[in-house]
Amino acid sequence: MDEAGTSCSSLEPRAAAARELLLAALEDLSQEQLKRFRHKLRDAPMDGRSIPWGRLERADAMDLAEQLTHFYGPEPALDVARKTLKRADVRDVAARLKAQRQQQYKKKYREHVLRQHAKVKERNARSVKINKRFTKLLIAPETAALEEAPLGLAEEPEPERARRSDTHTFNRLFQRDQEGQRPLTVVLQGPAGIGKTMAAKKILYDWAAGKLYQGQVDFAFFMPCHELLELSGTRSLADLILDQCPDRGAPVRQMLAQPQRLLFILDGADELPATGTAEAAPCTDPFEATSGTRVLGGLLSKALLPSARLLVTTRTAAPGRLQGRLCSPQCAEVRGFSDKDKKKYFYKFFQDEWRAERAYRFVKENETLYGLCFVPFVCWIVCTVLRQQLDLGQDLSRTSKTTTSVYLLFIASVLSSTGADGSWVQRELRKLCLLAREGVLRRKAQFTEKDLEKLELRGSKVQTLFLCKKEMPGVLQTEVIFRFIDQSFQEFFAALSYMLQEEGAPGAPTGSVGSLLRTDTELSGHLALTTRFLFGLLSTERIRDIEHHFGCVVPERVKEDALRWVQGQGCPRTASEGTEDTEELEEEIEEPNIPLELLYCLYETQEDAFVRQALSSLPELALERVRLSRMDLEVLSYCVRCCPAGQALRLVNIGLAAAQEKKKKKSLVKRLQGSRASTKQLLGSPLRPLCEAMTDQQCGLSSLTLSYCKLPDVICRDLSEALKVAPALTDLGLLHNRVSEAGLRMLSEGLAWPQCRVQTLRVQLSGLPGALQYLVGMLRQSPALTTLDLSGCQLSDPTVTYMCAVLQHPSCSLQTLSLASVELSELAQQELKAVKTAKPDLVIIHSELDSHPEPPRGFNSVL
């Protein structure tokens, strides 16, 4: 029974494999069993047809195998034989045939996957072997990525927490937890271009090569979400599985009958629309023909094949949007290249050792550019630009230093290689940017030939340079679609469109920068990278580059609109600080933090004056219950360095990645002027970049509050050193933090430093009542401190006695002491009353003391 459109060349290997299986099964039968099989086979019609008895009556095992394959076709013949064996009461042979058929197809499918995924296309459409191009990435498991103690260092060394992506690490993704439970959903998250898709494809390839999940996964399927979401018509999960099989005769029903043996790799799940719409209702039947959104939604929510394994990739900003869909996910963070792997990538890319060494040495000496290369896609762009500059004999120093500038230089380099004149570049670039912009705003990543024809881009040079072409199977005919060579390029071109927009020009896109930035919150995560690129293009240097490379004049209102938008932002309200848990962060808090995204935008400009002006309308920067990566902390530190006078920073229940020491980097102790040399060097704390930023002479940060944070000694040491010389810091709040006695002593040393400018100190500390003596003791030495709030602290009688003695010391300049909600003994109260008598100008706030003045206006006695 021939299938329409199936060629003889593709049918024969399948027929030979089927005959081999049938012959092996039938030769195991006795003569009596074989006779019974022939009689049962005569009565086994398929589609109303059965093999004539004349062909069966005297047929031996070999003849029967040939007759079955020829009459029914390879796969149906195996089904008919298995059912007939069961009817002939030879169930053991039927079961063995089923198992052998499944085993044969497993091998066949693995070989197919190895052929299909042995090579990957680079962004310039060149195909390379995946094992040759893949460079190992750092992957942090859930314990490191999601459960770090607030502001604390990891208990185990960093190399053990973030592991390189080898087969051992990939196998650990689905390992059992401490309670013996194996996760069925694993989420690989990371920023754009970090290598999530490449890692997912390598996992599929290594599985097919027999290196991963042996004895656990029989079939693995790679499903790019963006393609499935844009498929025309309806498809079932079974259809999608068939699309990935080597032929349409795959035993899909048998595959789906054992969902616990299946692995689905859903790449780019952040492309799915938000939950709550009728369209997003998950599919529950693997054979129901429906939209890609419902099929993917069913897999993610476990409404569809709940026992199947899922490996999901998503951008870092998007896990919060997926939380409503996912069922008990285990997360891991893709952190990109280690320093060692950066070098390996350069040598793999250039192949020529001399050129690789020259390019790598140049990037290594450029600290900012070297830091950006932890993202594989940025590393590829940098290498591509450097290779072109080496080919042309150009100065490598032209290479830029921020993500936006690297992308801009790459595009300029590619366009200049065409040799086209400026007017052509302007015209074609505007068209391409418009295509990108329309796609981003409509959440569309795939474009048809009609989309390109509408903008006169089909067949153009920019199409071949920046768009990749792919043929997709359609209902009636093959459909040709186009995508940008990387999703981040589409987002970059969309941002660039606002810089190249000509007012009043025919065909010019509608919508201003303000309309993009005011997009509703549902699209904020989707537009985050586009917005970052836009701010990166707003710097004076980038505008000058755009005008130089493309001959375009950027309207001044673009930068003005962006500045007005930032100045119109306010810090969102945060939850009550008194209800936080100091032990760990709540797992459900995964939503993108709006202030942090805003700081990323400002960071990308690298224009201090613009950032300072933008921050002037945000008197307080508040980050609550978020986990800050090293890049997050770099962004925050840069913005703090640019703070205008009077700026406040409040960090509540913050988690930090462990610090990674860099060679040749001076310690904060040595860098700060007037600081004492440390006799014992501690490892750098994760908060060191922020502490360094606070000491910058241009930093106007006047208030810092740390609440519900774990403050190890290394953090207290760095913070203490910063307090000594911070030029504008006058208000410090340390509220409900976990700090050791040694840490409190170090902080007291910083506050007592002659150049320390802190005037108001707010401390709420549970436990360590004796350690407060260090803070009290520094009152004799601190020249600037005038207000001390110890509300809610536990003060022992000896501590109060010591404090009263210090308060009466001639060098103590304290003016206000708040002891609200502090339990005091009768003896302590009497001693404090004596201090008030001796120093009538000193304001002491406590409910049990005699009449006292109201606290100064604007001073919060309880925080």
The residue among 532, 606, 541, 594 whose CA lies nearest residue 568 is 594
What's residue 3's pLDDT? 41
Higher pLDDT, residue 853 or 85: 85
The residue among 699, 517, 694, 731 whose CA lies nearest residue 612 is 699
Q: What percent of the chain has pLDDT over 90?
A: 36
Amino acid in position 10: S
Sheet holding 185-190, edge to edge: 163-164, 138-140, 330-336, 185-190, 309-315, 262-267, 219-224
Angle between helices 339-350 and 353-365 (to 10 degrees): 140
Task: Yes or no: say if 261 and 491 are a contact pair by the CB < 8 Å rule.
Answer: no
Task: Yes or no: say if 590 and 318 are a contact pair by the CB < 8 Å rule.
Answer: no
Task: Yes or no: say if 844 and 835 are a contact pair by the CB < 8 Å rule.
Answer: yes
3-state SS assignment for residue 543: helix
User: What is the biggest distance separating any 2 CA atoms in the chain, rounded to whole angstroms?
Assistant: 123
Residues in CB range of 609: below 8 A, 6 or more apart: none
Sign of CA dihedral 795, 655, 177, 140: negative
User: Which token pair is 354?
Assistant: 């001399």
User: Which token pair is 429?
Assistant: 């670039």
* Least confident interval from 118-122, 214-218, 663-667: 663-667
Mean pLDDT value across the chain:
81
Whole-number Å distance between alpha carbons of 26 and 56? 13
What's residue 524's pLDDT? 53
Residues in CB range of 504: below 8 A, 6 or more apart: none
Identity of the highest mean pLDDT range in 114-123, 138-147, 203-212, 379-388: 203-212
Cβ neighbourhood burial of 313 (10 Å; 0-12, 13-18, 19+): buried
Task: Yes or no: say if 546 and 408 are a contact pair by the CB < 8 Å rule.
Answer: yes
Q: pLDDT by residue (tens digit) across 7-28?
A: 444 567 778 888 888 999 999 9
Whole-number Å distance between alpha carbons of 711 and 738? 6
Confidence of residue 324 (pLDDT cuts 50, 70, 90): low
786: DSSP letter: -
The residue among 746, 748, 733, 653 whose CA lies nearest residue 151 is 653
CA distances from 209 to 68, 165, 206, 213, 665 (A): 33, 16, 5, 11, 43
Q: What is the 3 state secondary structure string of 448-514?
A: EHHHHHHCCCCCCHHHHHHEEEEEECCCCCCEEEEEECCHHHHHHHHHHHHHCCCCCCCCCCCCCHH
Higher pLDDT, residue 806 or 593: 806
Task: Work out the angle at residue 778's Cα, subtended by the Cα atoms of residues 772 and 784, and round it to the nearest 5 degrees.
Answer: 125
pTM over 0.75: no
Above 80 in pLDDT, residue 126?
Answer: no
Whole-number Å distance between alpha carbons of 80 and 88? 12
**Residue linked to tokens 């996957």:** 113
What's residue 801's pLDDT? 93
CA distances from 563 to 21, 165, 234, 270 (A): 72, 41, 45, 29
Cβ neighbourhood burial of 366 (10 Å; 0-12, 13-18, 19+): middle
* Least confident interval from 533-537, 544-548, 827-831, 849-853: 849-853
Helix (H) or strand (E) holding 242: helix 237-244
3-state SS assignment for residue 784: coil
Q: pLDDT by residue (tens digit) across 739-792?
A: 888 999 999 999 999 999 999 999 998 777 677 888 888 988 888 999 999 988
Helix (H) or strand (E) holding 653: none
Whole-number Å distance between alpha carbons of 364 and 343? 9
What's residue 677's pLDDT? 37
What's residue 124's pLDDT? 54
What's residue 145's pLDDT? 40
Q: pLDDT by residue (tens digit) across 245-283?
A: 988 878 899 899 999 999 999 998 888 876 655 556 789
Above 80 in pLDDT, residue 112?
Answer: yes
Above 70 in pLDDT, residue 796?
Answer: yes
What's residue 623's pLDDT? 92
3-state helix, strand and coil shares in percent for the chain, rounded to the nearest 5: 50, 10, 40
Task: Yes or no: say if 215 and 261 are a contact pair by the CB < 8 Å rule.
Answer: no
Q: pLDDT by residue (tens digit) across 420-434?
A: 776 777 888 899 999
Confidence of residue 480 (pLDDT cuts 50, 70, 90): confident
The residue among 105, 104, 83, 106 whose CA lies nearest residue 94 is 83
What's residue 574's pLDDT? 43
What's residue 417's pLDDT? 75
